[in-house]
């Protein structure tokens, strides 16, 4: 049966699959935001710009060094992560003891600077980027032909999210990070290099954003505004999941991607707003998010 109560099952499944791809990007980006806020207390409005820098870093590596996609996938997050470490050391560290508003304003200003610099160099027109040959082609799912690359993006994003969660929640390094944010003086007294851990955390969050940009490059056009187009939805995901909750960001990102796909099938004009409607409802009922804790 291809239809039930007038609903086309192939069409519905196709939209849900596309929504899962979007949800994978939401999960990856919102997890980076959650890590930076949960461990450092910074609402990082530059996260979308770091995502964009990851995509353009891939383009630069291919254009000027001749490296293939796989090398770019490995190097771009490291390069942007190191750039994030420099930002944390030189600029962001100065506002840790101030109100969250200062962090929002500072990172928003940095976002505008990064976007303007890239737009000056490459213009506003989107640039196309082909997936690697090893991931070209499609998979016949019966109800749709899913590009191999998009299926690979879903799998890789889930693996990265799971590994990150395990590192933060189940390892000694993760316990040091959590202790450093709860009581940095005591943690420092116990011999832990707290400033280095803080820098490492911000660099890792920036690297996750860049990884998302690298993965998105063959899926959508690369442009200076690509971070602005997704970061609003990602912030909504983090708010719904609960600021600082890594597991909440992952689960909420995937679920909201599916909800977007479902909404797009039944009433496409509402697909761009359904995330924010859900955010409003969650804030009205549970202001600290579905998986967050009262602060």
For the stretch 5-47, pLDDT in tens is: 456 667 777 888 888 888 888 988 888 888 888 777 788 889 9
- CATH says 3-285 is which class? mainly alpha
7 forms bridges with which residues in the sheet?
A: 4
* DSSP-assigned letter for residue 129: -
- Give me the helix-helix angle, 246-266 and 9-40, nearest 10°: 150
Q: How far apart are CA 79 and CA 217, in angstroms?
A: 16
Q: How far apart are CA 67 and CA 29, in angstroms?
A: 25
Question: Beta strands of 207-260 (E only): which ranges?
Answer: none
Helix (H, G, I), strand (E, B) or coil at 271: coil
Residue 210: what are its φ and ψ, rounded to 5°?
A: -65, -40
138 forms bridges with which residues in the sheet?
A: 147
Concatenated DSSP letters of 182-213: H-HHHHHHTT--HHHHHHHHHHHHHHHHHHHH
Helix (H, G, I), strand (E, B) or coil at 68: coil
- pTM, two decimals, is 0.90
For residue 111, what pLDDT band results from cuts at 50, 70 and 90?
Answer: very high
Residues whose CB is less than 8 angstroms from the CB of residue 287 and which lie 6 or more positions away in sequence, other chains included? none
Helix (H, G, I), strand (E, B) or coil at 164: helix
How does the average pLDDT of the chain come out, rounded? 85
Dmax over Cα atoms in the chain, in whole Å? 67
Confidence at residue 156, expressed as pLDDT on a 0 to 100 scale? 92
pLDDT tops 70 at residue 182: no
Q: How far apart are CA 252 and CA 266, in angstroms?
A: 21
């Amino acid at each position: 049966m291809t239809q039930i109560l007038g609903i086309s099952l192939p069409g519905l499944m196709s939209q849900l699959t596309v929504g899962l791809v979007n949800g994978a990007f939401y999960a990856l980006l919102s997890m980076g935001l959650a890590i930076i806020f949960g461990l450092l207390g910074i609402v990082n409005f530059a996260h979308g710009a770091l995502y964009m820098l990851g995509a353009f870093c891939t383009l630069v590596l291919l254009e000027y060094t001749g490296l293939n996609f796989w090398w770019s996938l490995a190097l771009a997050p490291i390069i942007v992560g190191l750039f994030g470490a420099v930002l944390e050391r030189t600029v962001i560290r100065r506002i840790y003891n101030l109100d969250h508003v200062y962090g929002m304003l500072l990172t928003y200003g940095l976002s505008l600077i990064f976007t303007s610099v890239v737009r000056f160099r490459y213009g506003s027109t989107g640039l196309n980027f082909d997936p690697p040959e090893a991931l070209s082609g499609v998979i016949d799912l019966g109800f749709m032909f899913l590009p191999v690359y998009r299926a690979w993006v879903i799998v890789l994003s889930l693996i990265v999210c799971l590994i990150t969660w395990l590192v933060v929640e189940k390892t000694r390094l993760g316990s040091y990070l959590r202790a450093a944010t709860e009581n940095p003086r005591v943690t420092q007294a116990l011999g832990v290099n707290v400033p280095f851990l803080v820098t490492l955390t911000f660099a890792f969050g920036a690297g996750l954003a860049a990884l998302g940009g690298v993965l998105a490059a063959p899926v959508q056009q690369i442009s200076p505004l690509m971070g602005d187009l997704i970061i609003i939805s990602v912030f909504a995901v983090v708010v719904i999941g609960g600021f600082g909750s890594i597991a909440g960001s992952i689960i909420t990102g995937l679920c909201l991607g599916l909800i977007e796909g479902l909404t797009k099938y039944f009433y496409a004009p509402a697909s761009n707003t359904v995330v924010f409607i859900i955010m409003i409802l969650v804030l009205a009922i549970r202001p600290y998010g579905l998986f967050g804790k009262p602060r």
